[in-house]
Amino acid sequence: MSAGQSIGIFDSGYGGLTVFKSIAKKLPQYNYIYLGDNARSPYGDHSFETVYQYTLECVEWLFAQGCPLVILACNTASAKALRSIQQRVLPVKYPNHRVLGVIRPTAEVIGNFTESKTIGILGTRGTINSESYLIEINKLFPEINVHQQSCPMWVPLVENNEHLDPGADYFVEKYINEIMAKDERIDCLLLACTHYPLLIPKIRTFLADGTVTLLGQGDIVADSLSKYLQKHPEITQKLGQDAKRNFYTSGDQVFFDKHASIFFGSDVSSRHVSHNSSQL
Ligand code: DGL
């Protein structure tokens, strides 16, 4: 069993860097490999089969880099690919590897963030249509009323760094009004997409002061990973603790580095990995 291995963090593109930022803050000692599949993102509108295929390829690439544990830091991939990878692939091909997502850890704590027992979920079409949050929250907190809203224009706004400009107001207000009109008791909006935390200052301008909690997932996923590592020494003992961070993108690395710092909060220097080679 070789030591010195990394935790793999996967996202369709940049968004998972908001989750990685929280993980790196909570657990700075570990080695990490981040992979953004920018060449094929966004995943939000792709079919189940496509998201599954793309996610599996990227997870297998991270396994090949020596990651015994991969976090799907992407709601769409967690909603559409995680269960199949955990149930169909790992037991047969990778019995000693683990893949975790962002939906279950979020569902486990959602009850702490609502007094009215009424929440709104904002996500990509893929995440919302999968009903993954509805199903998980209903299992754990059947008393919570869950309303959903897909926000397909928000990822492009963030990816183009237009999310805080006046032009973003129309689509931010539109989706906030739509979800809040579903139930006046909503007191927590879950930002169930890795890009949405960057919109928080803008979203707040369309909500009455202090009435609604805007819940991002970074800290929730970081806490959950910390607990998981404590409970699973068979994984933790394989991990290197040299605080190494390696970033890879299937897209253009210069473009990635420029945009990635917006999501990660500090400079990122990535390497390109190609879909057209045996590398991925
Ligand atoms: N990372 C994705 C998510 O959290 C958003 C971007 C995409 O659609 O690929 O759902």
Helix (H, G, I), strand (E, B) or coil at 122: strand
94 shares a domain with 24: yes
User: Among 170, 186, 216, where does a domain finish?
Assistant: 216
Residue 1 lies in a domain: no
156: Cβ contacts below 8 Å, ≥ 6 apart: 42
Check residue 210 and give its pLDDT: 82
Q: Whose CA is nearest to atom 6 of ligand 1?
A: 42
**pLDDT (tens digit per residue) in 225-268:** 999 999 999 999 999 999 999 999 999 999 999 999 999 999 99
* pLDDT band for position 275 (cuts 50, 70, 90): confident
229 shares a domain with 207: no
208 shares a domain with 126: yes
User: How many domains does the chain divide into?
Assistant: 2
- Give the active site residues: 74, 193
* pLDDT band for position 279 (cuts 50, 70, 90): low
* pLDDT band for position 111 (cuts 50, 70, 90): very high
User: Among 197, 216, 235, where does a domain finish?
Assistant: 216
188 shares a domain with 59: no
Q: How far apart are CA 254 and CA 233, in angstroms?
A: 38
247 shares a domain with 113: no
Q: In this structure, are residues 148 and 133 in contact, taking their beta carbons and an 8 Å threshold?
A: yes
256 shares a domain with 120: no
Q: How far apart are CA 97 and CA 238, in angstroms?
A: 11
Check residue 276 and give its pLDDT: 67
Sign of CA dihedral 225, 88, 216, 15: positive
199 shares a domain with 178: yes
Check residue 145 and give its pLDDT: 98
Residue 278 lies in a domain: no
Selection from 96, 94, 192, 186 nearest residue 146 by Cα: 186
Residue 279 lies in a domain: no
Return the CATH number at 248.
Answer: 3.40.50.1860
Residue 2 lies in a domain: no
Residue 277 lies in a domain: no
109 shares a domain with 83: no
95 shares a domain with 152: no
Atom of ligand 1 nearest to the CA of 102: 4
Q: Which two tokens stand for residue 148?
A: 């959903």
* pLDDT band for position 2 (cuts 50, 70, 90): low
248: Cβ contacts below 8 Å, ≥ 6 apart: 33, 34, 35, 36, 270, 271, 272, 273
Check residue 179 and give its pLDDT: 98
**pLDDT (tens digit per residue) in 12-48:** 999 999 999 999 999 999 999 999 999 999 999 999 9
119 shares a domain with 31: no
Q: Tell me the average pLDDT across 121-140.
A: 96
> Is the predicted pLDDT of residue 209 greater than 90, yes or no?
no
Residue 223 lies in a domain: yes
32 shares a domain with 116: no
Binding-site residues, ligand 1, Cβ < 6 A: 11-13, 15, 41-44, 74-76, 124, 127, 155, 193-195
The stretches of 30-81 forming alpha helices (DSSP H) are 48-64, 75-80
62 is in which domain, residue-wise? 7-101+219-272
Check residue 173 and give its pLDDT: 98
* Average model confidence (pLDDT) across the chain: 95
What is the distance in A from the centroid of ligand 1 to the CA of 83? Answer: 17
> Is the predicted pLDDT of residue 153 greater than 70, yes or no?
yes
176 shares a domain with 39: no
User: Among 216, 237, 253, where does a domain finish?
Assistant: 216
Residue 265 lies in a domain: yes
Residue 126 lies in a domain: yes
Q: How far apart are CA 13 and CA 141, in angstroms?
A: 31
What is the distance in A from the centroid of ligand 1 to the CA of 67? Answer: 22
Candidate of 10, 20, 74 to mutate for ligand 1, largest count of ligand atoms within 8 Å of Cβ: 74
Q: Tell me the average pLDDT across 51-80.
A: 97
Pairing of strands 32-36, 7-11: parallel
Q: In this structure, are residues 125 and 150 in contact, taking their beta carbons and an 8 Å threshold?
A: yes
**Percent of the chain surpassing pLDDT 90:** 93
